[in-house]
Amino acid sequence: MIYVVKDRETVASLVSSIGFTSTYIPPTSIDVIYAVVQAVDGPIRVCIDGTPPTSSKGMRFLKDTIFEVWGGGALAAFRAINDGGSANLEVIYMGRG
């Protein structure tokens, strides 16, 4: 299977729990299968079950960590928050080529 870039975005201002922009994720965008995410400028906390992350809840990713979020359910339920510093997310949305 060959995957190609479908779109990208910067998710900024993670002072409160925030998810991906809905136009990029299924069912709005049926082409997107997964997202490649990088925590930029600081560490973040992430939940992929719709639970809002906090400073003590969620997986912690350090600055410049790159990870993937697969599947429509996880993409729709994804939430991230700053965990010290002033983190942003760089996101690349991938789909079938």
Domain boundaries, the chain: 3-96
pLDDT at position 24, please?
A: 79
Task: Give per-residue pLDDT as tens, 19-72.
Answer: 998 887 877 777 899 999 999 999 999 999 999 999 899 999 999 999 999 999
CATH no., domain 3-96: 2.60.120
- DSSP secondary structure letter of residue 71: S
Instruction: Tell me: pLDDT of 5 over 90.
Output: yes
* pLDDT category of residue 74 using cuts at 50, 70 and 90: very high
CA distance 11 to 40: 10
Q: What is the pTM of this model?
A: 0.90
- DSSP secondary structure letter of residue 85: S
Spatial contact of 3 and 97, defined as CB atoms under 8 Å apart: yes
